[in-house]
Amino acid sequence: MTSAPLPGPVPSDGRAGPVQFGRHAPASHVIVHLSDTHLLAAGAALGGRYDVEANLAATLAAVERTGVRPDALVFTGDLTDLGEPDAYRRLRDAVEPLADRLGAPVVWVAGNHDERGAMRSGLFDGPADDGPLTGVWDLAGLRLVALDSSVPGWHHGEIDAQQREWLRGILSEPAPHGTILALHHPPIPSHVPLFDILELRDQDALAEAIAGSDVRAILAGHLHYSTSGTFAGVPVSVASATCYTMNLQRPPQEVNGMDAGQAFQLVHVYDDVITHTVVPVVEAPTGDYFSDEWIDRMARLSPRERLEAFSRKR
Ligand SMILES: [Fe+2]
Ligand SMILES: [Fe+2]
């Protein structure tokens, strides 16, 4: 005996809510993961080549087109290129209106191109001191922890002993839906040799700090290309950049930036798995779509009838 699940609640924009057609219930949480905006004061072009503000605007428009109602927008570092106060102002001006429309908090993570003092006063309205920029968010039972892997004066990364101790304290109590860590320097290798010089140091100590905890995923940036791996058994997902990305069609030692391939990620949190979906920022002719009416019609069928209607080869 099977029964057809009903469509979810219809939000105020008239779109149908998530429905369950397969084995998984709809995601309990969705996070938009973006990285490496690298803004400059006065809207300057990065390296005289990349219109980083236009590229960020295009990325944010793409986020909005997805129709997602995220639990948070997470930016995993290198928010500015030189840590200029005006660059942080411009970043807020670009991102906060979208965050307001989506009703989602913004999680700002520090990267090696950021300056802690300017970032703290520019994004958090706090004192311009050099302490690490960390934070903990309770996203309806999903815990998000922002770590600061920046090392003032350097481009490589580190989570120092004091921050690891702080993290251990946070993780000593599990959260209802588990924990996601966000940091700039990914704790996975890169096949592009230059990145290994700028890698996260003391990774073994970080692995010890999260051992046996409820950490379910690690979000990172820094590489300017999308990749994934595992760290101490935890899935790691690196979001590409909004500013420019690495042209990986070249041999590793020749990889460098290109003004294409920008992307962000949709992080869907299910009870037993987390998926990281890379969304390219591109406008291209796209096929017809499955309407709300079609979804509604499928939702009224039994699972067997749905297979007949949509799975059987004609
Ligand atoms: Fe970067
Ligand atoms: Fe970086």
State in Å: Cα 241 to ligand 1 middle.
7
- List, in sequence order, every residue forming a beta bridge with 138; answer none if it has no partner: 143
pLDDT by residue (tens digit) across 192-245?
999 999 999 999 999 999 999 999 999 999 999 999 999 999 999 999 999 999
Tell me which ligand sits closest to the C-alpha of residue 156: 2
State in Å: Cα 26 to ligand 2 middle.
34
Rg over alpha carbons for the chain, rounded to the nearest Å, is 21
Tell me how far apart the alpha carbons of residues 168 and 115 are, in angstroms, rounded to a whole number.
25
State in Å: Cα 219 to ligand 2 middle.
13
- The alpha carbon torsion through 181, 50, 193, 219 (nearest 10 deg) reads 10
State the pLDDT at residue 289: 81
The pLDDT tens digits along the chain (314 residues) read 333 344 444 444 444 567 889 999 999 999 999 999 999 999 999 999 999 999 999 999 999 999 999 999 999 999 999 999 999 999 999 999 999 999 999 999 999 999 999 999 999 999 999 999 999 999 999 999 999 999 999 999 999 999 999 999 999 999 999 999 999 999 999 999 999 999 999 999 999 999 999 999 999 999 999 999 999 999 999 999 999 999 999 999 999 999 999 999 999 999 999 999 999 999 999 998 888 899 999 999 999 999 999 999 98
Summary mean pLDDT of the chain: 94
State in Å: Cα 81 to ligand 1 middle.
8
* Ordered domains of the chain (ranges, CATH): 29-309 (3.60.21.10)
The residue among 74, 49, 271 whose CA lies nearest residue 176 is: 271
Residue given tokens 């979906």 in the structure block: 277
State the pLDDT at residue 18: 76
pLDDT by residue (tens digit) across 169-195?
999 999 999 999 999 999 999 999 999
State in Å: Cα 281 to ligand 2 middle.
20
State in Å: Cα 232 to ligand 2 middle.
22
State the pLDDT at residue 12: 40
Tell me which ligand sits closest to the C-alpha of residue 79: 1
State the pLDDT at residue 3: 38
The residue among 287, 213, 226 whose CA lies nearest residue 262 is: 226
State the pLDDT at residue 17: 63
State the pLDDT at residue 9: 40
Surrounding residues of ion ligand 2, Cβ less than 5 A: 78, 111-112, 222
State in Å: Cα 164 to ligand 1 middle.
23
The residue among 194, 248, 250, 243 whose CA lies nearest residue 221 is: 243
State the pLDDT at residue 288: 85
